[in-house]
Structure 1
Amino acid sequence: MDENQRNAQLENEINKYDLHSKIDLSFHQLTDYDMNIVIKQAIIEKQCKTLLLNDNLISSEGATIIANALNNNKTLEELNLWNNKISDDGVSALARVLSNNNETLRSLALGQNQISDIGIQHLAEMLKTNQTISRLWLFSNEITDNGVKILADVLVHNNQNLQWLDLRLNKLMTDLCFDSIHNILKYNRTLKKFWMEYCNLSWQIKAKIREIAQNKEDFNFGA
C-alpha cells in the first residue's frame, strides 16, 4: 500500500465517527507522518472527546504535533498514547502545553513510552499548574526511585487534582522509594486510585505500604 492509499484509508476511517465521539485509532501502525491527518480530522473537525492512539509508532516528533494541537483545545478529555515511542522529548512537549494552555484534558495515558525521570520532571512541573488532569498512566516506563520522589513532592505540596496514578511495571523502582510512597499516602488528599504492582519492591516493603494504605478511606491501592 502506497502512502496516498494509506492516508485515504485513515481519512475514511476517521470520517466514520460522529462528532464529539470516542475515536479509536489504536493498533493502526500510525507514524508521526499520520499525525497531521489525525489532528485535522479527529481533533479539529470531529472535536472528539476521547482519542485512542495506543500501540502505534508515534515518536517525540508526533507527540509534539499532538501537543501543538492541544493549545486552547476545548473538547478533548482523554488522550491515550501508551505503547508508542514518545520518550522524554515528547513528554516535554505535552507537559509544556498542558501546563498553561489546556483546561479540558482529564486523562493522559503515557505507559510504555521509554519515559525516564527526565520526563517525570516535566510532568511534575505540569502538575504544579494544571487544574484538570485527574488520571495519569505511567506504567512500564523507566522511572526510578528518584522519579517517584519527584512525583511525591508535587503531589504532597502542589497538586490537588490528580485522582488516579498508575506506576505499575516500572522495574527501576525499588525499596528506596518507600519514603516517597509513604508521603503520598499520608499527605495527599485527592488521590483515590494508586497502582504500583510488578515494580522491584520487596514483599516486606509492599506489606508496609499496604498497611498504610488501608487507613485511607475510599482508596484503591495495588502493590
Structure 2
Amino acid sequence: MNTQCKLEKLHLCGCRITEEQSLILTSALKSNPSHLRNLNLSRNTLGHSGFENLSDLLMNPQFKLEKLDLWRCNITEKWCLILTSALKSNPSHLRELNLSGNKIKNTQVNRLCGILKDSHCKLERLGLSDCEMTDEGCSSVTSALKSNPSHLRELNLSGNELGDTGVKNLCDLLMNTQFKLEKLDLWRCSITEKQCLILTSALKSNPSHLRELNLSENKLGDSGVKNLSDLLMNTQFKMEKLNLWRCSITEEQCFILTSALKSNPSHLRELDLSGNELGDSGVKNLSDLLMNTQFKLEKLDLYRCRITEKQCLILTSTLKSNPSHLRELNLSGNQLGNSGVKNLSDLLMNPQCKMKKLNLCLCSITEKQCLILTSALKSNPSHLRELNLSWNQIKNTGVNHLCDVLKDSHCKLERLSLYKCGITDVSSLTQSLTNTKALQFLKELDLRNNMIGDSKQQLIDVLRDSNCTLSVD
C-alpha cells in the first residue's frame, strides 16, 4: 500500500494463497494500482472475494496491467463471468492473458469472446490450453478472433477438442492476411487427418509470419504430412520451432518431412520428432540435413524414436561434421550402443561443440560407456549445464568418472540427474563437491532410487554448508 512502491512484476505461482490472503493482497493492489504490469497468480485458489477484488482492480482505469496469468486457479463459471466483465471495461492495456488449466467451457468462452471482438482489445498472447472446450467453444474463440485479428501473435488451444467447426474457423483466421500469428500450439487436440489437411492448407496460404508450430499428439496422416512438407519447402515460410512429438509419423512420412526441411533449412532452430519411428531412410535424411552448413539447429529431440545402434552411428557421425550450433540434444530411450556412444563422445570432445544440455536417460549406458563419455566431457567441460544419465546402470564406477569432470575448474554443470543408476556409494561425489568449485555452479542433483546407504550422511553434511545452494532429490 506504500505509494512509493513502484513494483512492476509480481509472481506468486503455487503459493497456496487462501481466499482470505487473496482478499488482503488484491485490496493492497487496489490502493496503489498504477505501476504493476505483470501479475502471476497461477495455481492458487483465490476464492469469490479474491476474484471480486481482482476484478475491481482490472476495471480501474489507472491499472495498466499488460500480463495476467491465472493458470490452474480453479476458476468457476461465476468467477469467469466477473473476471471477463471487468476485462471488458478496461481492455486496452492487456497484452497477455493465460486462463489455461481452468474449466472455462462454452458458457464462459462466450464472455471471453466479447473481449476479443472489442476493437480496443490488443491482446498479443492468449492461453486457453486444457480448458475443456468443445467444438462449440473453440469455434466461438476463433470466430471472435476473426473480427479483430491484427494484434494476436501467440495462441494456445492445446488439450481442447477443436472439432470440424473449430478447425474450419481457425483456418479462416490463419488465411486472413491481417492475421500475423507467430506461435500456434495445438498439442493433443484430437485433430484428424482430414482436419490436419485443412489446417496445413490454410497455413500454406499465409506462411510468412508463423515461427513456432506444435502439432504434437495428433494423427497427421499421409495428407497432413504431405501438406506440412509443402509448407516447409516454401521459401516464405521461416519456421524456427517445429514440435511433432508422438504424431504416429511413419518412416515414409519422416522421409517426406526431412526431405522438405532439406530444401529450406536455414531458419529452423528447434525440432522435436520424439515418439515417432524414423526408420533408416528418416535417419539418413535427417543426417543429410544436419550436415548442411546452412542448417543451424540448436535443439534436437529424438526421445523414444527406436533409434538402433547403426542409426545412432549415422546420426552422431553427422553431428560431428557440423557441431557449432547445437545446444540441446535428447537421445533418451534409444539404444546408442558402443559405436553410438563413441561417436557422441567424439562430438563432445570437439572444441567447436558448445552443447549445454544432454539427455541420455534410458539409453542402456554401461559403466564402460560412461567412462568413454566422461573422458570426452573432461576434455571440453566448460559449456555443459545439464546432464541426464538417469535409468542407466552406471553404478559407482560411473559416478567416480563423473567426479573427474566435476573436479575440473572449467566445469560449470548446473543440473545432474542420476535417478535409478544402481549407485550405492556417493562418498567420492561429495568429496568432489566440497573440494572443488563445482558446488558454486551445481544447483540440482537427482539421486532418487539409489541405495546410497551410509554415504548419505556425507551428502547431508555438504547440504548443511552455509555456502551450499544445491537442491538434492
Letter in 2 for 1:20: L
Q: Name whichever of 187-196 and 80-89 sits farther off.
A: 187-196
Following superposition, the deviation at residue 141 of structure 1 comes to: 1.0
Partner of 1:151: 257
Partner of 2:273: 167
Q: How many residues align?
A: 219
Select which of 12, 20, 33 maps to 2:111: 12
Unmatched tracts of structure 1, length 5 or more: none
Partner of 2:161: 57
Q: Deviation string for 1:9-67 (max 9, x for gaps)?
A: 11334667862331111111222222332123346437322111001112354223211
Q: Does 1:221 align with 2:329?
A: yes
Partner of 2:372: none
Following superposition, the deviation at residue 164 of structure 1 comes to: 2.1
Letter in 2 for 1:120: V
Select which of 120, 138, 143 maps to 1:35: 138
Partner of 1:23: 126
Q: 2: distance between equivalents of 1:191 and 1:67? A: 30
Q: Does 1:209 align with 2:310?
A: no
Letter in 1 for 2:279: T
* Pairing 1:27-176 to 2, within 5 Å after superposition: 27-42=130-145, 44-45=147-148, 47-71=151-175, 72-129=177-234, 130-170=236-276, 172-176=277-281
> What TM-score do the two structures reach when normalised by structure 1?
0.84
C-alpha distance 177-76 of structure 1, shift in aligned 2 (>3 A): closer
C-alpha distance 133-158 of structure 1, shift in aligned 2 (>3 A): closer
Match of 1:108, SS state, is strand
- Check conservation: 2:106, 2:133, Cα contact below 8 A: no
Q: Deviation string for 1:72-97 (max 9, x for gaps)?
A: 14332111000011122222112212
Q: 2: distance between equivalents of 1:107 and 1:124? A: 15
Partner of 1:178: 283
Following superposition, the deviation at residue 115 of structure 1 comes to: 1.9
C-alpha distance 60-203 of structure 1, shift in aligned 2 (>3 A): farther
Letter in 1 for 2:215: L
Q: 2: distance between equivalents of 1:92 and 1:191? A: 29
Q: 2: distance between equivalents of 1:79 and 1:102? A: 12
> What TM-score do the two structures reach when normalised by structure 2?
0.42
Match of 1:38, SS state, is helix
Match of 2:321, SS state, is coil
Q: 2: distance between equivalents of 1:54 and 1:127? A: 22
- Check conservation: 1:51, 1:79, Cα contact below 8 A: yes
Structure with the greater alpha carbon radius of gyration: 2
C-alpha distance 65-40 of structure 1, shift in aligned 2 (>3 A): closer
Following superposition, the deviation at residue 126 of structure 1 comes to: 1.3
Q: 1: distance between equivalents of 2:329 and 2:317? A: 10
Unmatched tracts of structure 2, length 5 or more: 1-76, 78-103, 332-473
